[in-house]
Chains A and B, each alone.
Chain A
Amino acid sequence: MGYQAELNRSYTVLNQRAAGDPEVFLSREEEGMGTDKIRTSDIVIEGVRKRFELARGQSIEAVGHVDLDIARGEFIALIGPSGCGKSTLLRMIAGLEKPSHGAISIAGQTPEECIKQQKLGIAMQEHGLMPWLTTRKNIALPFQLAGLPVDKDRVDELLTLVDLQDFAQALPKQLSGGMKQRVSIARALALQPQVLILDEPFGALDAVTRRLMNNELQRIWSQKPTTTILVTHSVEEAIFLADRVCLMSPRPGHLALIEPITLERPRSLETMQEQPFLSLLAKLTAALDEVCMSKEGV
């Protein structure tokens, strides 16, 4: 039952963050980020549940009771067994699903209001690039969809950011899987979103490309830390990228463990070979195994 103690400790950290205890954010402060920026809760998830109605009057609860505060500029990774409701929770934050109970607010607004103001950026496991558009036009698409004039400088900046300047005129079918995901992330960042939502963006990539893409994402994120929520099946990826890793229990998913990741940034691929990383990996993998084996969750 060591997990209950871990859970309590994690919630204590969470509450301290919510209360704005500057010590909790020491590692981020050391990196030169403004404390006022970090202390502000960007996303508040309160008592969120999601129940899907099935045929013949039956229903299924995908997400149990979830409470979570996410600070501005924080990188959160959601991990958990398949079908635990990670993606559903993410979709509720993105305003793509409505919670059955509870509320989600992003800087004091509902996700729907944030959508109207183009405050969200999204990248999924399926890259979702439009096959008829070039890389440049795919990145510019959010401007057009939002009815805004295309900011060519911003598109150029993003092409440079994801290192695809040479492929600006290429169609998606001419790009590799990793390149497509980079375009997808660049597109998600096009309108400088307040919150970046990533649903297994590298899930379809091979292991080597995935590691390289993790490094790329970290580099991109480090240049302008945006509040990011990542759903992943890879514990390694979650630890490498996130400030906190949230482990969800099996369906109906709730937060079984919240693990702060205090590894120094910038993290490199070598970080994955170091002892603190490996210890976290062992701990979270064991925790994941335990919640997977427990039908009732932790």
Chain B
Amino acid sequence: MTLLADTARWIAGLGILFLCWEFAGQKVWLGKGLPPLTSIISYALEPNSYELLTRSALITATNAIYGFFIGSMIGWVLACTGQIWPLLKKGLDTLSTFVNAIPLIALGPLLIVTVGEQLTPMATAALAVFFTVFVAVLGGFEGLPNVHHDVIHTYGVNRWRALVLVLIPNALPSLIDGLKLAASSAVLGAILGEWFGAQAGLGVLIVSSMQNFQIDLLWSAAFLGTAMSAIGFLILALVQKKLLPRFGW
């Protein structure tokens, strides 16, 4: 009943938003930059634009997914490394914070000349993801209750066993929270990477449609990017809902 009521509220909220948008677009209240919603949808469903949008979305999704996995692995491995070798922890924390502090926009051209334009979207997606996952895993490790530390200590456990048997399972909820946020960051990172000179992808479409004032195409690409982020977030929210209770959370 609650789920039904929640869904109804969501639909009603979105419906009102879309109606207002449609009305504002029809009346051209916000200029030509905000076309009616129906105009964007009908444009996106035209065979040519539909083919262009799906092909671009697929490329961006591929970049985002690869970037998501690579970035997650890097974040995960760095956090675990700091836990196994505490001497490295401070250095890794500083390095990660430093890398995260550099704006992607500044790193983009450097990536183009180092990894090449084809891999740049993947690299920017990975860079956008790794810090979120790193912080989430680290938060999970550091959130281990004192009593669990005492249990670990009492059995004279080595760091590897502590990591595998206690720290990683304990960090699972925090990791999934981090991954949920990272899913959106991956899409954003991939689109940003495509801006720097990729051959195709939603980022390329957004830049070219903006320069050529193809407003319907611009909005369609933006919608697809947003939908991709939302889908990633929802998949991980579902994983969180289904998986965590099985692990006692």
Which residues of A are at the interface with B, using a C-beta cutoff of 8 A?
Answer: 94-96, 115-118, 120-122, 124, 126-128, 130-133, 141-142, 144-147, 171-173, 187, 191
Contacts of A142 in B (CB 8 A): 155
- Cβ of B151 under 8 Å from chain A: yes
Q: Is the CB of B248 within 8 A of A172?
A: yes
Main secondary structure of the interface of A (DSSP, over half): loop
Given contacts A126-B147, A128-B147, contact A145 B162 (CB under 8 A): yes
Q: Is the CB of B156 within 8 A of A128?
A: no
Contacts of B172 in A (CB 8 A): 132
Given contacts A128-B147, A144-B161, A147-B161, contact A118 B248 (CB under 8 A): no
Give the residue of B155, B162, B166 whose beta carbon is less than 8 angstroms from that of A115.
Answer: B155
Residue of A nearest to B246 (CB): A132
- Report the contact-size class of chain B (Cβ under 8 Å from the partner): 20 to 34
- Cβ of B98 under 8 Å from chain A: no
Give the residue of A120, A127, A130, A147 whose beta carbon is less than 8 angstroms from that of B154.
Answer: A120
- Closest Cβ of chain A to B77, distance in Å, is 22
Main secondary structure of the interface of B (DSSP, over half): helix
Question: Could you tell me the distance between the alpha carbons of A133 and B165 in the complex, rounded to whole angstroms?
Answer: 10
Given contacts A128-B145, A130-B169, A132-B172, contact A145 B152 (CB under 8 A): yes
Query: A-B pairs with CB below 8 Å: how many?
Result: 69
- Closest Cβ of chain A to B81, distance in Å, is 21
Contacts of A96 in B (CB 8 A): 150, 153-154
Question: Could you tell me the distance between the alpha carbons of A144 and B163 in the complex, rounded to whole angstroms?
Answer: 12
Contacts of A94 in B (CB 8 A): 150, 154
Question: Could you tell me the distance between the alpha carbons of A122 and B146 in the complex, rounded to whole angstroms?
Answer: 13
Question: Could you tell me the distance between the alpha carbons of A122 and B153 in the complex, rounded to whole angstroms?
Answer: 10
Q: Is the CB of B165 within 8 A of A115?
A: no
- Closest Cβ of chain A to B149, distance in Å, is 9
Residue of A nearest to B160 (CB): A147
- Cβ of B148 under 8 Å from chain A: yes
Give the residue of B157, B161, B249 whose beta carbon is less than 8 angstroms from that of A131.
Answer: B249
- Closest Cβ of chain B to A147, distance in Å, is 6
Given contacts A122-B150, A147-B161, contact A131 B248 (CB under 8 A): yes
